[in-house]
Amino acid sequence: MAKLISSLELPLSPRPANKSLTDWLYAELRCAILDGRLKRGVRLPSTRDFALQHCVSRGIAMLVMEQLRDEGYLTSKTGAGTWVNERLPDDLLTVCARMPAKPEKAPAFLSTTTRAIRPFQSSDPDVTLFPIDIWSRLNSRHWRRATKALLGGGDSAGYAPLRNAIAEYLGTSRGVQCQASQVIVVTGTQQALDLVARLFIRPGESAWIEDPGYFAAAWALRNAGANIVPVPVDADGMDVKRGMQLAPRAKLAYVTPAHQAPLGVTMSLERRIALLRWAQSAKSIIVEDDYDSEFRFSGVPIPALQGLDKTGSVIFIGSFNKVLFPSLRLGYIIVPEQLMDKVLRMKYQMDLWANSINQAVLTDFIVDGHLGRHLRRMRETYAERRCALQDAAEKYVGDSLQLSGMHAGLATPAFYRAPVASREFEREAADQGIDATSLERYSVSKRRIRGVLLGFAAFESREINHGMQKLAAVVEKFERNTKH
Amino acid sequence: MAKLISSLELPLSPRPANKSLTDWLYAELRCAILDGRLKRGVRLPSTRDFALQHCVSRGIAMLVMEQLRDEGYLTSKTGAGTWVNERLPDDLLTVCARMPAKPEKAPAFLSTTTRAIRPFQSSDPDVTLFPIDIWSRLNSRHWRRATKALLGGGDSAGYAPLRNAIAEYLGTSRGVQCQASQVIVVTGTQQALDLVARLFIRPGESAWIEDPGYFAAAWALRNAGANIVPVPVDADGMDVKRGMQLAPRAKLAYVTPAHQAPLGVTMSLERRIALLRWAQSAKSIIVEDDYDSEFRFSGVPIPALQGLDKTGSVIFIGSFNKVLFPSLRLGYIIVPEQLMDKVLRMKYQMDLWANSINQAVLTDFIVDGHLGRHLRRMRETYAERRCALQDAAEKYVGDSLQLSGMHAGLATPAFYRAPVASREFEREAADQGIDATSLERYSVSKRRIRGVLLGFAAFESREINHGMQKLAAVVEKFERNTKH
């Protein structure tokens, strides 16, 4: 039977300043039970003795005992006392051992906060030019008048005024044909891709992807179980005929018609039409990612492929995260009407809805004309920087590094002559303090590409010039080695 | 060959006030080509004539022509003129037909913004008591000093100071044993469930779920292809032995040990230990959803099952969305160390990272002690309302409606005697202006339950009293019918 331990003098750790007496006593007793200092079957002293021993009120002692009894650590019987439960298994005995301190760590690519942005890091906009004051003012305005509806649950499709603003903006500036009722607000391109891939791909089904192409789209498709079919890209965009030879019954085609990721070419009208026709006959979905299309430096922006589609084959996706700032986390999907319920339901089942206040602020930012002004300003700035990059390349690298036309976007591909793998080029550049992303990272078929991606958007002319001189040294080194 | 139409007098729609000349002219010509008013092969007038006819400058006419040529709608040859492209297929001819206006619509359950909250809607906190002024002030503070790092890309695991604050908060208040390095910030419970289900379930594998249980967890599991195994719940929580009989090799078990959804019972220590032992031997994952555990009215909160786990079998998930306000969209997953890289990578591939400013504001809210104060205040308020509900039930419904113990949460199950399906009860209550969610909605096995869920958190005593009188009429009606 239970042995008496009414003289129990269980050593307890001193109470931390931020813990209440109850919390502390509870935690100490629970630990003592779990790590075996209080053995199974052992009888505890009366709450009166207990309170005296540990200098707490009897009320607290009773509260703690009751709690432990409710949770099954103790058993008590009126008049007979309280025991540590017999059924506590031995395998819990070390649970209270303190865990060792452990430094923060995460794979480098999962975090952008720890790395410094240096030329020519390719995906970053220049956030220092974002009109923080305006955004902040709109933000305060919404918080001052925060309504119950805005704080409460949201709408899975998005905040209604934002959906209207997006439909309007895309109609005017991107040639997208849609109603507000076809807009779903998401956290960005990646969530859009993930959602669409899950919804339209069953494991083993084929999906076309541009090659070279956007690797994060490949992740989303692979996570959905897709059989990835790399379709080559040339100066007219994805080679649709080749796609039809490779996988005529593919379930989905992922394309970046306005500004191909990463090569920056525009898909020709002929290819666009061929793609639409194929999708219609194969009953496939075209996912049009409007990648970096907002920053076009020559001509007016190429209208969306979606605007040509009259059979509901195109799902159009885009994001405000690069246009405004990457930590915003708001983007959109434009869904053909007949697919709307299906896509919306999936969005709901993935994460319900997006943050409402941020959506309300963004709505004002668009409707009050700040988005248009910001886009124009950034387009001019980026155009200047693009020129600075071109000039610097001509000055320091000459024919050895050929920059692409760069009609749009935040980065440009640059091709070199030396027969060096672009991963090796990337490594050498990194050693010189320069980010030059290997185009092979975008190669779905693992084809070798003698080129790197150079971002220019986030850097001033001085930085661009300085960076290009370092890059010239890299190019020169490889060319010299080749000649030997 | 191409016929001359230099006398072309294409009727164009008038220019809208908000469109530039260039945009308007471009859109009109493109539409004319696509809807067949400008036929394939037709030759356009010179830019000079064109400019004269349409009262635009020659520069604009050239710009528009060039753009259309770049996009493949037109072909031009120096000296010979410009033609509409021959290769435009006929099947694009109606693309410019204006889309009919369409009213907004979405399945009702996807939107919470349109419905009024009325007693006893079960999932809502009282957002009117949220300290908007404090949150707003912290928000302004962060915007005033918004750094490049905060506007730029984020960390997929979450904002580092928030991860620290969450680890601290959960350790102290929930008995969770974790380091900041085990925390991943997500948008809420639903994203957490979706992520975990996708990662640990392969199509066809079994997953235990409490029955009755949280339907949105079942969605996430089904979307991942799980074979859902409903495991009965009694006063001690999920019947683990039964689960082991039904599906001994299940890959995952979803449980709400602190406060079962929807019945509100607490899982006994014995069951907790049995569940951990099973998970360890079957190499399964336990997903512990800390559902509404923060609002516990009697005793101190039951510590997390996770705190008992020493083999890394438990993934712990929780949310700030109900504790603070539902449109916030921030929650967390606590991941065993050996699984961290895997879970983090998936989070990245799903939607990169969460909004950084909101995370920074939440961090201050926790660290400055506002979360603790808010929780205490809400706990008191909700406890009062719970009493008001109990009192009202005793006064107006007596023995005919039995309310559960209600130790925690924002809602309580209420069981009635009349042999009426709870969907029917729910419908009748709705007709009387009362929300009484049928418990059958939570029944995974479609078992009949004579009970409804009554939320009390978002309603003042007066509303609760008034609502209970209406509910009494519903109960009475069904009891009267039964006696006939």
| DSSP of B288-306 | EE-TTTT-B-SSSPPPPGG
Distance from CA of A49 to the nearest CA of B (A): 22
Using DSSP, state whether A401 is helix, strand or coil: strand
The mean per-residue pLDDT over the stretch A279-308 comes to: 88
Using DSSP, state whether B257 is helix, strand or coil: coil
Show the tokens assigned to B432.
């009387």
**Is pLDDT above 80 for B90?**
no
Q: Is the Cβ pair B187, A187 closer than 8 Å?
A: yes
**Which chain B residues touch A266 with a CB distance below 8 Å?**
70-71
**Is pLDDT above 90 for B35?**
no
Which of the listed ranges A173-182, A246-255, B372-381 does the model predict with the highest average pLDDT?
A246-255
**pLDDT classification of A103: cutoffs 50, 70, 90:** very low
The mean per-residue pLDDT over the stretch B42-59 comes to: 80
Least confident interval from A246-255, A318-327, B42-51, B363-372: B42-51
The pair phi, psi for residue A227, each rounded to 5°, is -90, 110
Which of the listed ranges A28-32, A298-302, B315-319 does the model predict with the highest average pLDDT?
B315-319
Instruction: Give the pLDDT confidence score for residue B263 in this predicted structure.
Output: 93
A421 — contact with chain B (CB < 8 Å)? no
Angle at which helix A422-431 crosses helix A461-483, to 10 degrees, equals 120
Angle at which helix A340-351 crosses helix A189-200, to 10 degrees, equals 120
Instruction: Give the pLDDT confidence score for residue A37 in this predicted structure.
Output: 73
**For domain B129-372, which architecture applies?**
3-Layer(aba) Sandwich (3.40)
Within 10 A of B17 (CB to CB), how many other CB atoms are there? 5
Q: Is the Cβ pair B327, A152 closer than 8 Å?
A: yes
**Is pLDDT above 50 for B103?**
no
Least confident interval from A83-97, A423-437, B22-36, B295-309: A83-97
| Tens digit of each residue's pLDDT (9 = 90 or more) over A199-211 | 999 999 999 999 9
CATH code of the domain made up of A21-92: 1.10.10.10
Q: Which helix (H) or strand (E) holds A275?
A: helix A269-282
Instruction: Give the pLDDT confidence score for residue A106 in this predicted structure.
Output: 54
Q: Is the Cβ pair A181, B356 closer than 8 Å?
A: no
- CA–CA distances in Å: residue A47 to residues A30, A39, A52, A81: 16, 18, 8, 9
Using DSSP, state whether A453 is helix, strand or coil: strand
Instruction: Give the pLDDT confidence score for residue B106 in this predicted structure.
Output: 54
**Is pLDDT above 80 for A22?**
yes
| Tens digit of each residue's pLDDT (9 = 90 or more) over B431-467 | 999 999 999 999 999 888 999 999 999 999 999 999 9
- List beta partners, residue B211: B232
**pLDDT classification of A96: cutoffs 50, 70, 90:** very low
Least confident interval from A2-6, A252-256, A468-472, B243-247: A2-6
Q: What single DSSP character describes residue A311?
A: S
B259 — contact with chain A (CB < 8 Å)? no
pLDDT, greater one: B95 or B279: B279
Q: What single DSSP character describes residue B448?
A: -
ipTM, interface predicted TM-score of the complex? 0.85
Q: Is the Cβ pair A94, B310 closer than 8 Å?
A: yes
Show the tokens assigned to A183.
């807009």
Q: How many CB pairs under 8 A join A and B?
A: 297
**Is pLDDT above 80 for B80?**
no
Using DSSP, state whether A80 is helix, strand or coil: coil
**Edge to edge, what strands does the sheet with B252-255 contain?**
B183-186, B331-334, B314-319, B285-289, B252-255, B206-211, B227-234, B237-238
Of A102, A107, A191, the CB nearest to B351: A191
Can you tell me the distance from the alpha carbon of B302 to that of B266, in angstroms, rounded to the nearest whole number?
Answer: 8
Can you tell me the distance from the alpha carbon of B250 to that of B261, in angstroms, rounded to the nearest whole number?
Answer: 21
Instruction: Give the pLDDT confidence score for residue B101 in this predicted structure.
Output: 39
Instruction: Give the pLDDT confidence score for residue B144 in this predicted structure.
Output: 86
**Is pLDDT above 60 for B16?**
yes
A338 — contact with chain B (CB < 8 Å)? no
**pLDDT classification of B43: cutoffs 50, 70, 90:** confident
Q: Which helix (H) or strand (E) holds B404?
A: none
State yes or no: cis peptide before A161, omega within 30 of 0: no
pLDDT, greater one: B91 or A186: A186
**Which chain A residues touch B322 with a CB distance below 8 Å?**
none
Instruction: Give the pLDDT confidence score for residue B360 in this predicted structure.
Output: 96
Of the candidates B160, B132, B173, the residue with the CA atom closest to the CA atom of residue B372: B173
Can you tell me the distance from the alpha carbon of B404 to that of A390, in angstroms, rounded to the nearest whole number?
Answer: 73
CATH code of the domain made up of A130-369: 3.40.640.10
The mean per-residue pLDDT over the stretch B457-481 comes to: 94
Domains of chain A by residue range: 21-92, 130-369, 373-483
Using DSSP, state whether B350 is helix, strand or coil: helix
Can you tell me the distance from the alpha carbon of B454 to that of B438, in angstroms, rounded to the nearest whole number?
Answer: 9
Residues in Cβ contact with A410 at an 8 Å cutoff, skipping those fewer than 6 apart: A122, A123, A124, A125, A292, A295, A322, A382, A455, A456, A457, A458
**Is pLDDT above 70 for A1?**
no
Can you tell me the distance from the alpha carbon of A274 to that of B96, in angstroms, rounded to the nearest whole number?
Answer: 19
Looking at chain B, which residue has its C-alpha nearest residue A186? Answer: B351
* Beta carbons of A189 and A289 less than 8 angstroms apart: yes
Query: Mutate which of B189, B302, B327, B348 to disrupt the A interface (most A C-beta within 10 Å)?
Result: B327
Show the tokens assigned to B80.
């010979």
The mean per-residue pLDDT over the stretch B378-393 comes to: 93
Percent of chain B scoring above 90 in pLDDT? 65
CATH code of the domain made up of A373-483: 3.90.1150.10
CATH class of the region B375-483: alpha beta
Per-window interface: A 188-217 vs B, CB < 8 A: 188, 190-191, 194, 198, 203, 216
Of the candidates A309, A41, A2, the residue with the CA atom closest to the CA atom of residue A176: A309
Per-window interface: A 278-307 vs B, CB < 8 A: 299-300, 302-303, 307
DSSP of A153-219, one letter per residue? --BTT--HHHHHHHHHHHHHHH-----GGGEEEES-HHHHHHHHHHHH--TT-EEEEEES--HHHHH
Can you tell me the distance from the alpha carbon of A387 to that of A461, in angstroms, rounded to the nearest whole number?
Answer: 9
Within 10 A of A79 (CB to CB), how many other CB atoms are there? 5
